[in-house]
Chain A
């Protein structure tokens, strides 16, 4: 062994270089192993269907659903214009834009609602002693144990004319006629806020959990009132959690399908219902695909713009 060490010594540098290469290779391989399963799933179930949607959106609808393999960008034109059946002239049609507008309005209201309700809850949990926090987190995630459909149906039972809320109010003599709550925008909003609240609470909690509460004392010590401490210290430091929560609520709320269908009675179309309709009774697959892609593009652009704005604001501080 002594002899081997003696022989090896002259090319220690070479051996070190070889070892460094092995390490680097191992690191690359580990990275690949960690990412491969997720990349595979995203590829097969995400990118592949998305490509199909992209292709379909540039084809013509088949008479009984499906597509005709003829190139056409009609689906996109249809989104903004109405084609006259007789002379093929185009006239502006805002019906679909209105659906988009309504969906965005509802999703943004949902986001603001969950933020207003969720932030204090997240703060409350983060301010508990560590051993109590898991209990509260468990309580927050409890609704997930039941299927969304069932939870939405149960809300339906509560807010309908003969439902719990109306019964109570009438018993108390506050109203004589049942309030019409089911199939209103308010019911849809309440349903969405209820469904997406945990998606707002959890990321905000994650950023508050690391929050150093002695910064609050430092703020008060330096003459900040409670409101100023909230504005100048808590909000900026937890901004990443707030942004994550908003994104996690806004995007699924935009495409929400079950809640507007059940609690809104499908009376007013939302993007999700519009898209679903095209693949069902509407029998216009290209238009459904195009609407889905337009939604995606709008969301992506909105995200990029808001991230850019957030980033430049951070920079302004430094």
Chain B
């Protein structure tokens, strides 16, 4: 288990100082596939480098299984990294790359050799042991980097956007391979990505970050179906965010209305919101298109665009207040027609800003 407690990381000093992480706290459960998700520059790599020990925190503490490791050099932490550019040693064979960690730990030769074989089998590169690393394809290098980082059996494996250099097909393959490796080894994986699809598909838990802070931590389902803030809802996929008026709370449930419509009872990210204008998340797949005059229609607008994508069509509907909403349908309405939008109120969700 990794405990990140009130960690702040600043680069530079005085006027030029950049705060990459501001008072971040996070608990990463043992043996889980944990993903750091966020836009470019939000501090994902910085957090990973702090856990690896390449950087020291400006303030705060990092503990692994209850022991403080924040001050240790990288070579004294039972943590290994899979680098984004792989950083394989170009002057060594595949086998020696994989055995390097154990060699530095001065393990017996027999143990090193058997671990190398085991790891190469695990990543299905058995017959490449004697190759030079520059004679491998990108995907193969990626797997060597994985085997090299797993060979010393670290407690934690850190992966910084390891799949971003691979093409789509290879990436899909590696995603399931990573899941399998995590499952088979039981090692805690901390995975960095800015691809929300990847994060949702692979993780046990996701931490969504922005601007040096953690916005929400939860399972993929929680993050997807119950985003707390507008930022998270926006970042995770193609959620629609529409305007509504908050009337008040009834226990945990919020009472809202769209425009001058009837009051509805929906979920809310927080009960501390004050009545007035709020944003509500509306997933495209939960919306049904109905006739404009239908009683059940919560929102009304005009179809402004429609795109065919094979399994169906995506329609863009402009609401009366000018906000555009994506809707997935099997038979699109013609552009220019007016429609009503109906949806399951249990799927609506009031957001924090």
Binding site for B on A (CB under 8 A): 212, 214-215, 217-225, 228, 232-233, 236-237, 317-318
A223 x B101 contact (CB < 8 A): yes
Given the complex of chains A and B, what is the CA–CA distance between A224 and B101 in angstroms? 7
| Other-chain contact of B89, A217, A218, A225, A228 (Cβ < 8 Å) | A218
A318 x B101 contact (CB < 8 A): no
Residue of B nearest to A314 (CB): B91
A216 to chain B, nearest CB (A): 9
Given the complex of chains A and B, what is the CA–CA distance between A267 and B314 in angstroms? 94
A220 x B75 contact (CB < 8 A): yes
Given the complex of chains A and B, what is the CA–CA distance between A236 and B91 in angstroms? 7
B132 x A222 contact (CB < 8 A): no
Contact count band on B: 20 to 34
B189 to chain A, nearest CB (A): 15
| Other-chain contact of B96, A223, A225, A228, A317 (Cβ < 8 Å) | A317
| Other-chain contact of A318, B79, B130, B149 (Cβ < 8 Å) | B130
Given the complex of chains A and B, what is the CA–CA distance between A110 and B208 in angstroms? 59
| Other-chain contact of B93, A218, A225, A318 (Cβ < 8 Å) | A318
Given the complex of chains A and B, what is the CA–CA distance between A214 and B86 in angstroms? 9
B 268-301 contacts with A by CB, 8 A: none
A221 x B80 contact (CB < 8 A): yes
7 A-B interface contacts by CB (under 8 A): A212-B85, A212-B87, A219-B104, A220-B74, A222-B149, A224-B75, A225-B104
Add 20 more A-B contacts to A217-B87, A223-B152, A224-B100 (CB < 8 A).
Answer: A212-B85, A212-B87, A218-B83, A218-B87, A218-B88, A218-B89, A219-B100, A220-B53, A220-B54, A222-B75, A222-B80, A222-B100, A222-B104, A224-B104, A228-B104, A237-B90, A317-B91, A317-B93, A318-B130, A318-B132
| Other-chain contact of A217, B74, B79, B90, B152 (Cβ < 8 Å) | B74
Which 3 pairs of residues, A with B, have the shortest CB-CB distance? A222-B101, A218-B87, A220-B74
Chain B hits for A215, CB < 8 A:
87, 89
- Assess whether B92 is interfacial by the CB under 8 Å rule: yes
A223 x B105 contact (CB < 8 A): yes
Residue of A nearest to B132 (CB): A318
Given the complex of chains A and B, what is the CA–CA distance between A221 and B53 in angstroms? 8
Given the complex of chains A and B, what is the CA–CA distance between A222 and B157 in angstroms? 12
Chain A hits for B349, CB < 8 A:
none
- Assess whether B52 is interfacial by the CB under 8 Å rule: yes
Given the complex of chains A and B, what is the CA–CA distance between A222 and B83 in angstroms? 12
| Other-chain contact of A223, B88, B91, B104 (Cβ < 8 Å) | B104
